[in-house]
Copies of this chain bind each other. A is one copy, B any other.
Amino acid sequence: MVVVMAPEATDEDVKAIVDLVQTAGGDAFVSRGVSRTIVGLVGDVEQFGALNLRSRSGVLDVMRISVPYKLISREHHPDRSVIRVGGALIGPDTLTIIAGPCAVETPDQTLAAARMARAAGASILRGGAFKPRTSPYAYQGLGEAGLRILADVRAETGLPVVTEVLEPASVDLVASYADMLQIGTRNMQNFALLQAVGSVGKPVLLKRGMSATIEEWLMAAEYIAQRGNLDIVLCERGIRTFETATRNTLDISAVPVAQRLSHLPVIVDPSHSGGRRDLVLPLTRAAIAVGADGVIIDIHPEPKEALVDGDQALVESDIREIASITAHLSPLMGRTLSPAPQPAPVG
């Protein structure tokens, strides 16, 4: 941290800052220029935050230098992490496709979607049992019945399952069925929920808040990590801007930026960012080419019957295209497709 003193600051003002910082267990060094004096701070930045340095006499500005997250930072952990989800991998050497229906509706629909997912090259199945909806009158998901369907489909297809959890009270329930817990965009700063998934032994898919800065997103990951769970995958899914042609604006630059700041894998959701089926394939190509560690895609065997977000689900005819894209682009990016686990043998 750097404290910039005002031109009219007195020697006493400067000394008061130094004393405060030292009392708080930190170290301060003063440098006097022709027009301004600057005090550099060394120590625990969080503790300095409580000193309210900006309000002190003679202080013009306070600027932070080091990053405010630690456990997920790449600074002390230069190698990028590999996260294991069931038998699938997400990390720097693989390209991982996660696919499935936005909402679990019936066993048949889910199984059909899972088979489409496998055909597309997916190694993880996504599907929502608890759906966060802007309107209380909209379809809210099947709940535990949906979780059971997902578990049955996993047994049938071998694909591990990621599904969203909406509140701390459901974390244990969802974790008892799922292989990976998803934190949705509206809950990125639901700190109680972050702490709850941080205390459970399942990997977490953390979607970026729709108006969260990259730094806030990483801080949300730090909340999970701080409870002991470092198996976190970050998911860029579009941010809110003034543009109305797309549901959200996919922040494609966030992928390399987050990968440089954190050792955690970063994947992209091309379905929810655009909100339009015709953008899913182009955005999937862009995501892989920018260096994403994977993509998470909505597919539905009958999009016109979908209860949620049918507008953006891929259909049968798109599946070959996804498989072709990944087959061609993965090697260029130095990656191999994460292999899909096989169903456990019966008997």
Residues of A within 8 A of B (CB): 2, 4, 27, 29-36, 38, 40, 42, 46, 49-50, 52, 54-56, 60-61, 63, 65, 68-69, 132-139, 166-169, 186-187, 189-193, 210-211, 213-216, 219, 222-223, 226, 239-246, 249-257, 260, 273-274, 278-279, 282-283, 285-291, 303-307, 310-311, 328-329, 332
Per a CB cutoff under 8 Å, which of B27, B168, B191, B256 touches A282?
A: B256
Cβ contacts A to B, 18 pairs, < 8 Å: A38-B38, A46-B135, A50-B139, A52-B303, A52-B306, A60-B65, A61-B65, A68-B137, A213-B245, A239-B242, A241-B251, A245-B254, A250-B251, A257-B279, A260-B278, A282-B291, A285-B289, A286-B290
Least Cβ distance of A2 to chain B in Å?
A: 6
Question: Measured between alpha carbons, how far is A216 from B36 in the docked complex, in Å?
Answer: 24
Q: Would A65 and B329 count as touching, CB distance under 8 A? A: no
Q: Would B42 and A34 count as touching, CB distance under 8 A? A: yes
Question: Measured between alpha carbons, how far is A193 from B29 in the docked complex, in Å?
Answer: 46
Q: Would B246 and A249 count as touching, CB distance under 8 A? A: no
Per a CB cutoff under 8 Å, which of B242, B283, B305 touches A252?
A: B283
Least Cβ distance of A299 to chain B in Å?
A: 14
Question: Measured between alpha carbons, how far is A216 from B132 in the docked complex, in Å?
Answer: 13
Question: Measured between alpha carbons, how far is A152 from B48 in the docked complex, in Å?
Answer: 31
Least Cβ distance of A9 to chain B in Å?
A: 13
Question: Measured between alpha carbons, how far is A137 from B273 in the docked complex, in Å?
Answer: 31
Q: Would B168 and A211 count as touching, CB distance under 8 A? A: no
Q: Would B256 and A279 count as touching, CB distance under 8 A? A: yes
Question: Measured between alpha carbons, how far is A23 from B186 in the docked complex, in Å?
Answer: 34
Q: Would A135 and B219 count as touching, CB distance under 8 A? A: yes
Q: Which residue of B lies closest to A224 (CB)?
A: B136
Q: Which residue of B lies closest to A213 (CB)?
A: B243
Least Cβ distance of A73 to chain B in Å?
A: 13
Least Cβ distance of A324 to chain B in Å?
A: 10
Q: Would B303 and A134 count as touching, CB distance under 8 A? A: no
Q: Other than A167-B190, A241-B251, give 9 A-B pairs with Cβ distance below 8 A.
A: A63-B63, A136-B191, A136-B226, A137-B226, A169-B169, A252-B283, A256-B282, A286-B289, A328-B332
Q: Would A253 and B279 count as touching, CB distance under 8 A? A: yes
Question: Measured between alpha carbons, how far is A224 from B246 in the docked complex, in Å?
Answer: 26
Least Cβ distance of A235 to chain B in Å?
A: 16
Contact partners of A193 in chain B: CB under 8 A: 167
Given contacts A34-B42, A240-B211, A242-B213, contact A285 B290 (CB under 8 A): yes
